[in-house]
Every structure is written in C-alpha cells, then in structure tokens.
C-alpha cells in the first residue's frame, strides 16, 4: 500500500488504521494507492465538490488502483476510512 497525504497526526492515524485492517480484509491490498485529503483544492483535483458535502461528509472514490478518501475536515477523512473498512467487511465492536 502506498499513501499520499498532507502530513498531520489524523492522517497518519488513518494510514495506520488502513494498514492494519484493510490488508486483513482485502487480498492484494498492497497494490492500492490511498490519497487522503481535505478541502476544496484536494477535492477539486479529483473532480469532487466540497460544497456538495454535509458538515462531516466525505467522498470515497476509486480510480483503478487509486482510492481517494476526502472531505472538508480531517475527521471527515477519518470517517471515510472507517466507512471503507466496514464496506470491506471489517467490524468494529466497542466493549
């Protein structure tokens, strides 16, 4: 797996979560390139609209082996990471 993002604590944590759980749920997970980002500039680069998102909304977009997780805020991106993991069959249990 390859990760591309602006370095910050939340995105580093998102990378750790994806490395830990995505590889456990998806075969050949090492072929994917994850692009994590926030804000209008990042979203526009991927032809996504920031103004179309709700407050903590996020986008999940796949383009070949590129997986884009973007939102207006850092925590929006983290929500997107967990949504992707849940779609791949990961279950998170509190308790």
What pLDDT, on the 0 to 100 scale, is given for residue 81? 95
| pLDDT higher at 29 or 17 | 17
pTM for the whole structure: 0.88
Tokens of 59: 């986008």
For 46-50, which contacts have Cβ atoms below 8 Å and span 24 or more sequence positions? Answer: 46/70
The 3-state DSSP class for residue 18 equals helix
Q: How many CB atoms lie within 10 A of CB 27?
A: 7
* C-alpha span between 36 and 75 (Å, rounded): 11
Q: 4 versus 52: which is more confidently predicted?
A: 52
């Amino acid at each position: 797996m390859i990760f591309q993002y602006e370095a910050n604590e939340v995105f580093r944590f998102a990378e750790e979560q994806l490395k830990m759980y995505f590889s456990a749920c998806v075969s050949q997970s090492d072929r994917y390139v994850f692009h994590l980002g926030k804000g209008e500039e990042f979203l526009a680069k991927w032809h996504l609209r920031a103004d179309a998102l709700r407050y903590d909304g996020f986008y999940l977009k796949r383009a070949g082996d590129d997986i884009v997780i973007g939102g207006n805020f850092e925590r929006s991106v983290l929500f997107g990471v967990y949504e992707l993991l849940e779609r791949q069959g990961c279950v998170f249990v509190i308790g």
